[in-house]
């Protein structure tokens, strides 16, 4: 019997796929929150497969606690910066993640929603209206800015960045700039996107959207130096990973209007959102919910189950990383 330990309940559709297998023993942690470190180390003992979520730090200590039976870590997330990949590889442990078009489309929608909410001051005007401050229409009241015809800079031209670029180009006539470690010819052909270095992109864009994984090379890739390159009328959006932005620098930049505003879904030290960010009016904060739709989360659940089922059947999982 293969033991699968699940660190937190995920949408039932994926768990149901696993429970159909008589050769799997599925153990789901009962708490409705991220599992504590102590409980993780205790509960993972004897597991053959660990189904983790992105808030679980899966390092050598967790692998030691699981023991030599642990052969797979199936991450319920597109990102995998929470897993010590080199340590897993050294031990011969297979790692999988859960990318897919449903997730890319959903996160892209969230990015676009933040763009329009920032430009049209949706959150601010909602609060204004709820406070009873609306006493009549005025030609210069709460003016925002247009999105149509602006320039969008995509940092990371992968699946999500490309989905954002295509929709904004096709639907709103937005000029697309992008930067990445390699050229994306398909993105260029479909949207007329122009490749730029990061400094060039920051200087020329009205909106900058981040879509890079968290790596040593991307940690704090946006700091005060980069923020000062942006237009004072520009907006920064991050749905990638929190530590890609130096939050202290972002707070300073927004406070002193170095840039016009920001839309942030991920944070440097999740789930802590600094008071300095929370008190600002020129930022929209969402609690890591860019992929929070029934469709996307079910798709992730199915993907993680397919990875596990392929592995126990002796096949290479669809989304094997290491």
Query: What pLDDT is recorded for position 322?
Result: 64
Domain that holds residue 89: 2-97+294-312
What's residue 270's pLDDT? Answer: 87
pLDDT of residue 33: 87
Q: Let me know if residue 279 belongs to a domain.
A: yes
pLDDT range class, residue 159, cuts 50, 70, 90: very high
pLDDT at 206: 98
Q: Is 25 a catalytic residue?
A: no
Tell me: do 32 and 92 sit in the same domain: yes
Looking at the fold, whether 145 and 59 belong to one and the same domain comes out as: no
Residues 142 and 155 in one domain: yes
pLDDT above 70 coverage of the chain, percent: 100
pLDDT score for 51: 98
Judge if 49 and 136 occupy the same domain: no
In a domain, 318, yes or no: no
Average pLDDT rounded to a whole number, residues 156-165: 96
Report the mean per-residue pLDDT for the chain: 96
Q: What percent of the chain has pLDDT over 90?
A: 96
Query: How does residue 31 score in pLDDT terms, banded at 50, 70 and 90?
Result: confident
Quote the pLDDT of residue 32: 83
Looking at the structure, tell me whether residues 303 and 249 fall in a common domain. Answer: no
Closest C-alpha among 162, 43, 112, 95 to residue 319: 95
Active-site residue, 105 included: no
Q: Is residue 321 part of a domain?
A: no
Could you say which of 196, 241, 268, 297 is catalytic?
241
Are 195 and 277 found together in one domain?
yes
Q: Are 91 and 118 contained in the same domain? A: no
Overall number of domains in the chain: 2
The reply to whether 69 falls in a domain is yes
pLDDT at residue 268 greater than cutoff 90: yes
| Set 109, 124, 190, 270: catalytic member | 270
Say if residue 115 is in the same domain as residue 30. no
Q: Is residue 145, in this structure, part of any structural domain at all?
A: yes
Q: Is 288 a catalytic residue?
A: yes
Whether 42 has a pLDDT exceeding 90, the answer reads yes
Which pLDDT score is estimated for 271?
84
Q: Are residues 204 and 298 in the same domain?
A: no
Indicate whether 320 belongs to any domain.
Answer: no
- Structure confidence at residue 39 as a pLDDT band (50, 70, 90): very high
pLDDT at 152 over 90: yes
CATH code where residue 60 lies: 3.40.50.720
Q: What is the pLDDT of residues 123-151, one digit of tens each?
A: 999 999 999 999 999 999 999 999 999 99
Tell whether 322 is covered by a domain. no
**With 70 as the cut, is the pLDDT of residue 68 above it?**
yes
> Do 308 and 262 belong to one domain?
no
> Per residue in 234-256, pLDDT tens?
999 999 999 999 999 999 999 99
32 and 136 assigned to the same domain: no
Same domain as 131, residue 89:
no
Q: Identify whether the C-beta of residue 277 lies closer than 8 Å to the C-beta of residue 251.
A: yes
How many angstroms separate the Cα of 309 from the Cα of each of 47, 273, 280, 304, 306?
A: 15, 37, 46, 9, 5
Rounded mean pLDDT of 104-127? 97
Tell me phi and psi for residue 78, to 5 degrees.
Answer: -75, -45
319 within a domain of the structure (yes/no) = no
Residue 53, C-beta contacts closer than 8 angstroms, at least 6 positions apart: 7, 8, 10, 34, 75, 76, 77
Q: Which stretches does DSSP call E strand in the chain? A: 2-6, 24-28, 49-53, 72-76, 94-96, 151-155, 175-179, 194-195, 207-210, 235-238, 261-264, 283-285
Taking residues 182-191, report their average pLDDT. 97
Instruction: Work out the average pLDDT over 275-291.
Output: 97
């Amino acid at each position: 019997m293969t033991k699968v330990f699940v660190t937190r309940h995920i949408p039932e559709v994926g768990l149901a796929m696993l429970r159909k297998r008589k050769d799997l023993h599925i153990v789901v942690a009962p708490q409705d929150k991220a599992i504590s470190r102590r409980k993780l180390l205790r509960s993972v003992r004897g597991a053959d497969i660990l189904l983790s979520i992105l808030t679980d730090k899966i390092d050598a200590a967790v692998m030691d606690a699981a023991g030599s039976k642990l052969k797979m870590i199936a991450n319920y997330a597109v990102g995998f910066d929470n897993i010590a990949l080199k340590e897993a590889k050294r031990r011969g442990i297979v790692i999988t993640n859960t990318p897919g078009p449903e997730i890319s489309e959903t996160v892209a929608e969230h990015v676009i929603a933040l763009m329009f909410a920032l430009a049209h001051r949706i959150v601010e005007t909602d609060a204004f209206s709820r406070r009873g401050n609306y006493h009549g229409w005025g030609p210069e009241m709460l003016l925002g800015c247009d999105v149509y015809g602006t320039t969008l800079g995509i940092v990371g031209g992968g699946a999500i960045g490309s989905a954002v670029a295509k929709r904004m180009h096709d639907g709103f006539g937005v000029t697309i700039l992008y930067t990445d470690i390699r050229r994306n010819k398909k993105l260029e052909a479909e949207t007329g996107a122009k490749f730029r270095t990061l400094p060039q992109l920051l200087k020329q864009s009205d909106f900058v959207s981040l879509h890079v994984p968290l790596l040593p090379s991307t940690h704090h890739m946006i700091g005060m130096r980069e923020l000062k390159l942006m237009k004072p009328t520009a907006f920064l959006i991050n749905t990638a990973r929190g530590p890609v932005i130096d939050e202290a620098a972002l707070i300073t930049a927004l406070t002193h209007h170095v840039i016009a505003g920001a839309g942030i879904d991920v944070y440097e030290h999740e789930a802590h959102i600094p008071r300095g960010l929370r008190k600002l009016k020129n930022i929209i904060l969402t609690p890591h919910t860019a992929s929070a739709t029934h469709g996307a989360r079910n798709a992730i659940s199915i993907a993680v189950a397919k990875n596990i089922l392929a592995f126990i059947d002796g096949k290479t999982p669809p989304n094997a990383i290491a």
